[in-house]
Amino acid sequence: MAAGNYMRMWGVEPVMLCNQHLLGEHVEMHMFAGCLRKGMSLKGYYRNKLVCARSIKKRHDELAAEMIARGMKHKSPLEELVLPGDYEYGEIDIEVNIRELSRRCPDCRKQLDSTL
């Protein structure tokens, strides 16, 4: 995670991410899961549409599958998260994320621009 950037679930097709963003988002899914297990609030992330707590496990598994497809090692399975029924989950805006990633990262931009 680059200094000054918040953790973020990009949510775009994993195949579109450059290696750096693929690995980065994968680590951040583990960090989000760790926060939730410790009972920390992700409200600030929800407010900025940076994560959907309900999707963390699914997203982690998609990213891990893409890592393996690229010949990377993945040795950090993520256990299912159990959240209370009335839990606020948050949501992400994939259109915004595609634009933001494309703006930030020339390597991601190459793949993402075709989807804009």
Residue ranges in contact with Zn ion by CB under 5 A: 18, 21, 76, 105, 107-108
Shortest Cβ distance from residue 69 to Zn ion (Å)? 14
Shortest Cβ distance from residue 77 to Zn ion (Å)? 6
Long-range contacts, 68-72 (Cβ 8 Å, 24+)? 70/19, 70/22, 72/19, 72/23
What letter would DSSP give residue 17?
S
Q: Which is nearer to Zn ion, 68 or 88 (CB)?
A: 68
N-to-C CA span, the chain: 25
Shortest Cβ distance from residue 63 to Zn ion (Å)? 8
Q: Which is nearer to Zn ion, 82 or 86 (CB)?
A: 82
